[in-house]
């Protein structure tokens, strides 16, 4: 039932919140124990302890789970004139995660023990201050415990002399959060488990890395061998390239020389062709001259025969002249014939020599 309206309380997390409250009470003893262990001068704090009562009227501190709290709060502690304190926690706080439920209940419990809000939002070791008026987002992810300042203030309120409303940390006392031994031990166990898991993963990675290194080493050796073979092949190719380059230069020189010889042979061939045409033309002209001379001689011979035939009957003495003339004509014809024949032989020799020179030039050109 709702403790205010005595109506049904629609909160499914009531038991979880109450269980967290008793857990906070236990953790408070753990915090005090470690603080006294480290600072024995605060040993009177061990006198603070919590026990259940049979009815709320007998309690110094009353803890209630309610449907809602005014002004949007999720928890607060009310101090009454008779010394009693009432802690109220809104049901909707459970929606924001278990670490925040723990932190809010612990915060309100320390309020119930007489402390107000701290002026610092974090301790020197970087943890959020439990009694700060505002928390960072870290408070929703981790559990927060009282600081050395909070425990010193509780000691001053209950076992010391309070002067004023502000309590400061004394010199020599480090400002830090006090984590109970059992919590730290559990954290160390969890951290140890995480480290073991991380160690196993690291060993697995190391084994994988070792296998990878072996593979890379084998691959490196194989690549070294291939590199050595490639170097040898490269050197051989460079030698062949140098040899081919020398041959190419030699071939270039030979080609240049053959091109010069080819040009010279072309010029000689043109000269020989011109010479052959000139000799052929001379030979033809000589033959034409000889033919003309022969025709003239034939005509003269025929004319002489006609004259001889005409005058043969008129003068006997002409026969003698005719024979003389005929003999002279024959001698002239024979002389012209032998002269022409000798000249033709000379021309044939010149043509034959020119033909041989042409064949020689053609053969050289084909070889080039």
Cα 159 versus chain centre, distance: 71
d(CA 178, CA 189): 18
**In degrees rounded to 5, what are phi and psi of residue 122?**
-150, 155
Task: Please tell me the predicted confidence (pLDDT) of residue 233.
Answer: 86
Tokens of 225: 């061998």
Q: Hunting for tokens 């052959």 — which residue is that?
A: 276
Report residues of the chain scoring pLDDT below 50: none
Q: What is the CATH number of domain 14-179?
A: 3.40.390
- What is the residue extent of each domain of the chain? 14-179, 273-367
Statement: the pTM of the whole predicted model exceeds 0.75: no
Q: How far is CA 203 from the centre of its chain?
A: 30
**Distance between CA 307 and CA 320 in Å, rounded?**
13
Q: DSSP secondary-structure letter at 203?
A: H
What phi and psi, each to the nearest 5 degrees, are found at residue 202?
-65, -40
- Looking only at the bridges linking them, the beta strands covering 85-90 and 61-66 are parallel
Residue 278: enclosing H or E segment and its boundaries?
helix 181-312
pLDDT of res. 348: 75
Q: Are 21 and 63 in contact (CB under 8 A)?
A: yes
- C-alpha to C-alpha distance for 60 and 84, rounded to whole angstroms: 5
Residue 91 tokens, joined: 């049901």
pLDDT attached to residue 79: 92
Q: What is the pLDDT of residue 105?
A: 96
């Amino acid at each position: 039932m709702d403790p205010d309206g005595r109506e049904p309380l629609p909160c499914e997390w009531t038991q979880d919140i109450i269980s967290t409250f008793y857990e906070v009470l236990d953790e408070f003893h753990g915090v005090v124990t470690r603080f006294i262990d480290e600072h024995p001068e605060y040993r009177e704090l061990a006198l603070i302890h919590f026990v259940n009562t049979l009815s709320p009227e007998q309690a110094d501190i009353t803890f209630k789970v309610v449907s809602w709290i005014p002004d949007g709060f999720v928890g607060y502690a009310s101090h009454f004139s008779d010394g009693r304190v009432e802690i109220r926690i809104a049901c909707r706080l459970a929606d924001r995660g278990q670490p925040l439920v723990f932190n809010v209940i612990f915060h309100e419990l320390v309020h119930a023990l007489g402390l107000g809000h701290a002026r610092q939002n974090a301790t020197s070791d970087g943890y959020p201050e439990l009694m700060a008026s505002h928390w960072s987002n870290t408070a929703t992810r981790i559990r927060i415990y009282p600081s050395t300042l909070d425990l010193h203030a509780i000691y001053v309120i209950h076992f010391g002399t309070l002067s004023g409303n502000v309590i400061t940390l004394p010199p020599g006392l480090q400002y830090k959060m006090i984590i109970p031994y059992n919590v730290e031990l559990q954290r160390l166990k969890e951290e140890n488990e995480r480290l073991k898991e991380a160690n196993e993963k690291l060993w697995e990675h190391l084994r994988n890395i070792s296998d990878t290194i072996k593979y890379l080493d084998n691959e490196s050796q194989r690549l070294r061998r291939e590199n050595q073979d490639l170097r040898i092949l490269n050197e051989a190719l460079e030698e062949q390239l140098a040899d081919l380059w020398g041959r190419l230069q030699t071939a270039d020189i030979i080609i240049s020389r053959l091109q010069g010889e080819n040009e010279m042979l072309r010029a000689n061939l043109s000269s020989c062709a011109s010479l052959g045409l000139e000799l052929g033309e001379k030979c033809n002209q000589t033959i034409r001259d000889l033919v003309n001379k022969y025709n003239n001689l034939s005509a003269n011979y025929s004319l002489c025969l006609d004259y001889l035939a005409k005058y043969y009957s008129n003068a006997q003495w002409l026969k003698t002249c005719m024979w003389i003339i005929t003999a002279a004509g024959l001698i002239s014809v024979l002389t012209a014939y032998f002269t022409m024949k000798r000249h033709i032989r000379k021309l044939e020799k010149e043509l034959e020599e020119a033909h041989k020179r042409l064949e020689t030039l053609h053969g050289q050109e084909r070889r080039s």
